[in-house]
């Protein structure tokens, strides 16, 4: 017969034995298991949490940082986390659920506590995307993806992304990425504030083409490359110069962090054709060019990339006909020969004369100079100036 004292002693021994066994042989933790555990240590890369007799768990340090990269937890704080997997004997946890075997109950908890969830974009459907979150079908409207309207939506299919649950009820799970994308963008912008300066040359990727220019990703944030800054010459269509996904080097033209606008230039990293204009198009030389634009005061002729010269309307007549508008004798796209009349490097202006008119003027001036010279040394054998002029005109077929 056992006494009460003996029974109590045996019970304590049995309890101690059971506790020891449970400590040495913990039950296997399944992925998706939720714990609320204190932080016991914070290192450069990991946050260690105490998970009872099961030892310590590891959470990526980045999960406990805000959008500015500041740590938002301290040792001793209790965090809610979900078990992911074991790696080399270490238990990995996350404060953001949704991947792996996370169940619907966990998603409801994530909705209540504003915890981001990870989901895979399954397919594009009417008005948005179907997203698989831990085996649960969810919906993310296009307006909540945090992307531009013109962006190619098909590129998101198959991607694993982070979302917030904005609606949860019955069978409906509605997701959003807008606040996550915005927080990431602000974080990248803050980091780049320290390194970007106006005038810097940076490499980027073309993300979108518009009529007014192109958006360029320069390290996680986008800047606008206006059509006027794409080339030294006139750009008719953005797609003629750039394509989505193309790698480019651009210059930071303007930084406005307050309005969160970055203006870029592509032409400023290219050689300026005006630097060698006086060498490439010297005064008195003849060149072929294309009429690029007609205005009441004259015709602009493209001589080379980014360099146009002007033929004034008064130089388009042949002396016998007065021209009221360049369109009377020229059309856009027409190739003509011109002579360089003057080059103003400071004002970046080149004055032109149509080649045929200039040659006629030169010939006339040469003839007159010759005639004047002959008049000065006139002799009976040479005849009068009038006769000489008459012969010159006959040779030209004018009379």
Strands 298-304 and 261-265 come out as unpaired
Q: CA 280, CA 274: separation in Å to the nearest integer?
A: 9
* Percent helix, percent strand, percent coil in the chain, to nearest 5: 30, 35, 35
By the 10 Å C-beta count (0-12 exposed, 13-18 middle, 19+ buried), 181 is classed as middle
pLDDT tens-digit readout, 310-359: 999 888 876 667 788 888 888 898 898 999 889 888 888 889 988 888 78
Average pLDDT in the chain: 79
Q: CA 23, CA 79: separation in Å to the nearest integer?
A: 22
Q: Where are the domains of the chain?
A: 26-94, 104-181, 195-269, 273-358
Structural tokens at position 357: 């008119």
| Three-state secondary structure call for residue 106 | helix
Q: Give domain 195-269's CATH architecture.
A: Beta Barrel (2.40)
26-94 against 195-269: fold identical: yes
Average pLDDT over residues 98-111: 67
pLDDT at position 136, please? 84
CA 263-215-186 angle, to 5 degrees, is 75
Q: How many CB atoms sit inside 10 A of residue 175's CB?
A: 26
Right CATH number for 104-181 from 3.40.640.10, 2.40.50.140, 3.90.550.10, 3.40.50.1000? 2.40.50.140
Q: Which of 69-73, 99-103, 268-272, 291-295 has the lowest mean pLDDT?
A: 99-103
Instruction: Say which CATH topology domain 273-358 has.
Output: OB fold (Dihydrolipoamide Acetyltransferase, E2P) (2.40.50)
**Count, residues in the chain:** 399
Q: CA 65, CA 73: separation in Å to the nearest integer?
A: 8
Alpha-carbon 71 to chain mean position: 30
- Residue matched to tokens 């555990």: 37
Q: Is 245 left (phi over 0), alpha (psi -120 to 50) or beta?
A: left
Phi, psi of 267 (to 5 degrees): -70, -25
Find, among 55, 67, 66, the residue nearest to 23 by Cα: 55
pLDDT tens-digit readout, 59-88: 989 888 877 788 888 999 999 888 888 888
pLDDT tens-digit readout, 203-245: 888 888 888 888 888 877 888 888 888 878 777 788 878 888 8
Cα distances (Å, whole numbers) of residue 386 to 319, 369, 382, 390: 22, 14, 11, 6
Instruction: Say which CATH topology domain 26-94 has.
Output: OB fold (Dihydrolipoamide Acetyltransferase, E2P) (2.40.50)
Whether 48 and 90 have beta carbons less than 8 Å apart is answered as: no
Q: CA 199, CA 265: separation in Å to the nearest integer?
A: 10
């Amino acid at each position: 017969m056992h006494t009460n004292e003996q029974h109590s002693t045996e019970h304590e021994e049995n309890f101690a034995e059971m506790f020891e066994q449970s400590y040495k042989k913990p039950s296997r933790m399944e992925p998706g298991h939720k714990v609320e555990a204190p932080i016991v240590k914070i290192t450069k890369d990991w946050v260690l949490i105490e998970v009872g007799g099961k030892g310590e768990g590891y959470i990526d340090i980045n999960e406990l940082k805000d959008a500015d990269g500041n740590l938002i937890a301290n040792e001793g704080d209790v965090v809610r986390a979900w078990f992911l997997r074991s790696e080399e004997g270490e238990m990995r946890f996350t404060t953001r659920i949704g991947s792996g075997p996370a169940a619907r109950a966990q998603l409801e908890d994530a909705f209540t506590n504003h915890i981001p969830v990870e989901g895979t974009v399954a397919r594009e459907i009417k008005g948005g995307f179907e997203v698989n979150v831990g085996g649960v079908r969810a919906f993310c409207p296009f307006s909540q993806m945090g992307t531009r309207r013109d962006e190619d939506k098909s590129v998101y299919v198959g991607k694993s992304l982070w979302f917030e649950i904005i609606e949860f009820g019955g069978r409906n799970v509605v997701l959003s990425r807008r606040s996550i994308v915005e927080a990431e963008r602000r974080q990248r912008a803050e980091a780049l504030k320290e390194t970007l300066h106006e005038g810097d040359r940076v490499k980027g990727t073309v993300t979108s083409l518009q009529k007014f220019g192109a958006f360029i990703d320069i390290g996680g944030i986008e800047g606008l490359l206006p059509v006027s800054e794409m080339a030294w010459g006139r750009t008719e269509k953005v797609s003629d110069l750039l394509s989505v996904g193309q790698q480019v080097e651009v210059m930071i033209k303007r930084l406005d962090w307050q309005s969160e606008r970055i203006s870029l230039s592509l032409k400023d990293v290219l050689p300026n054709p005006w630097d060698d204009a006086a060498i490439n198009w010297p005064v008195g030389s003849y060149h072929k060019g294309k009429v690029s634009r007609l205005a009441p005061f004259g015709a602009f002729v493209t001589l080379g990339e980014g360099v146009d010269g002007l033929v004034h309307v008064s130089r388009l007549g042949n002396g016998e006909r007065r021209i009221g508008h360049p369109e009377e004798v020229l059309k856009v796209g027409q190739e003509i020969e011109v002579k360089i009349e003057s080059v103003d490097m400071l004002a970046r202006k080149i004055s032109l004369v149509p080649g045929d008119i200039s040659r006629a003027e030169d010939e006339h001036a040469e003839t007159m100079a010759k005639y004047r010279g002959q008049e000065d040394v006139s002799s009976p054998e040479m005849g009068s100036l009038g006769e000489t002029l008459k012969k010159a005109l006959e040779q030209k077929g004018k009379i």
